[in-house]
Amino acid sequence: MKIAVDAMGADYGPGPVIEGVVMALSDYPECEFVLVGHSGKLPFYLEKYGIAGHPRISVVHAETVCEMSEPSTTSLRAKKNCSITVCARLLKEKAVDAMVTPGHTGATVAATKVLVRTLPGVDRPALAASLPTQNGKRFLLVDAGANIECTPVNIVQFAILGEVYAQYLFRLDSPRVSLLSVGGEDIKGNDLTKESFKLLGKRSQLNFVGNVEANVIFENVADVLIADGFSGNVMLKGVEGLAKSVMFWLKRVLSKNALRMTGAMLAKNAFIELKSFGDADDIGGAPLLGLNGICIIGHGSSSPKAVRSAIRVACECVEFGLNDRIAARINETGSNTAELEEELAEEKKQRPGGSSAGR
């Protein structure tokens, strides 16, 4: 198995990425790693971490890096030889089995959508983010930000993508799939959620549990939460911001006097455990589901442990046969793009006036 690793895209340079690869070398003795980055800069780090000349390490040159501040299309237009695009090209050519990048998310989505393309029958790929629930379990948020504007066809396919990935990640035979909306009833929401609800409800093979509001999703009411990329990303960023604020508030109120500080010290292990619930280092990164290849996108500030975890997820997705399972499930549920569009058009014809609801 070969994994392409974007060695240049992280916020803190190649160091943490290379160190994470070193950790992964011992985890996967059968795996080869293709480090993508500037061939004049990477040798320093290979020497530093003792893997220069390693038989399972190779370097593919990438002239530039797509900076986080640059537009998503930069990887395809202004910087066609940036590390993200080179990784995507290797994945497209099947020179590697998967790619891992801690680089620009938007640029990665753009490059892979154009170069790698989606699986047959899948219209768009979607990001799957893993979030904790109150009872210590986790759920997937799909799409977490890859597609700002979506159609009901996309939403249904996101459900299939999320279901199959949840089978791998949570070891579940029939994950509960829910739709993010403003109310539990099928009449609540906008045109997108109402249309999507109807299409999802017709897929008896899917364990669709209906609409779920954001205020209860952390109560373990579903294993997969489906949303358009705009709503999903707003929710994800809101959750991340709230988590940081809660930790800030705790520190502030617990440091007001000596008695509270003593209590905080006694509860130190509890706070460590609390922090671990959302530890991004253990998760590693979010897969871009639906691509014709495995792509894991990590945080720009990924630590070596996070890079190691992202590589683990990439390897396990390949071993699980994730894409073959997704393609089979798309066909099994009658959810390829053409079938869904035909189903949606037929449903609209049957309405009074032949127009969509709410118009």
33 in helix, strand or coil? Answer: strand
Q: Are 40 and 91 found together in one domain? A: yes
Q: How far is CA 227 from CA 29, 140, 141, 145, 180, in A?
A: 38, 11, 7, 9, 6
In this prediction, residue 358 carries a pLDDT of 40
> Torsion angle of alpha carbons 306, 311, 312, 314, nearest 10°?
130
Residue 261 counted as domain residue: yes
Same domain, 210 and 311: no
Task: Looking at the structure, tell me whether residues 93 and 167 fall in a common domain.
Answer: no
For residue 223, CA distances in Å to 66, 88, 134 come to 34, 30, 13
- Alpha helices, H only, the chain: 14-27, 42-48, 83-92, 105-115, 152-169, 191-201, 229-254, 258-266, 268-276, 280-283, 304-320, 322-332, 337-349
Co-location of 226 and 341 in the same domain: yes
Q: Quick one: 166 and 261 in the same domain?
A: yes
Residue 308, in any domain of the structure: yes
Q: How many CB atoms lie within 10 A of CB 60?
A: 19
- 21 lies in a domain? yes
Distance CA 336, CA 189 (A): 25
Residues 6+ apart with CB under 8 A from 292: 116, 117, 118, 119, 323
Q: What is the mean pLDDT of each run of 10 residues along the chain (359 residues)?
A: 94 93 93 96 95 95 91 85 95 97 92 95 95 90 94 97 95 96 87 94 94 92 96 91 87 91 88 70 87 94 92 94 96 94 86 55
Question: For residues 9 and 20, what is the distance between their CA atoms, to the nearest angstrom?
Answer: 14
Contact predicate 52/22, CB 8 Å: no
Classify the phi-psi angles of 220: left when phi > 0, otherwise alpha if psi is within -120 to 50, otherwise beta.
Answer: left
3 state SS of 15 = helix
Backbone angles phi, psi at 220, to 5 degrees: 60, 45
Q: What is the pLDDT of residue 269?
A: 86
In a domain, 121, yes or no: no
* SS3 state of residue 82: strand
Residue 347 lies in a domain: yes
In a domain, 327, yes or no: no
Residue 270: the pLDDT is: 84
Structure tokens at 56: 């399972």
Range of the domain at 233: 127-278+333-359
Q: Are strands 126-132 and 286-289 parallel, antiparallel or unpaired?
A: antiparallel
Task: Specify the pLDDT at position 356.
Answer: 47
Domain of 247: which CATH number? Answer: 3.40.718.10
Look at residue 204 and give its three-state secondary structure. Answer: coil
* Upstream peptide bond of 143 is cis (omega within 30 degrees of 0): yes
199/340 same-domain check? yes
Clarify whether residues 203 and 339 are in a common domain.
yes
Residues 263 and 161 occupy one common structural domain: yes
Residue 273 and residue 299 in one domain? no
Residues shown for the chain: 359
* Number of compact structural domains in the chain: 2
Is 14 within the bounds of a domain? Answer: yes
Question: What local confidence, expressed as pLDDT, does residue 281 receive?
Answer: 72
Residues 61 and 147 in one domain: no
- Please name the residues in contact with 298: beta carbons below 8 A apart, sequence gap of 6 or more: 10, 100, 101, 102, 284, 285, 286, 306, 307, 310
Q: What is the reported pLDDT for 359?
A: 36
Task: Say if residue 274 is in the same domain as residue 314.
Answer: no
Residue type, 102: P
Clarify whether residues 75 and 141 are in a common domain: no
Residue 355 lies in a domain: yes
Tokens representing 153 are: 């066809």
Beta carbons of 83 and 6 less than 8 angstroms apart: yes
Other C-beta atoms closer than 10 Å to the C-beta of 283 total 20
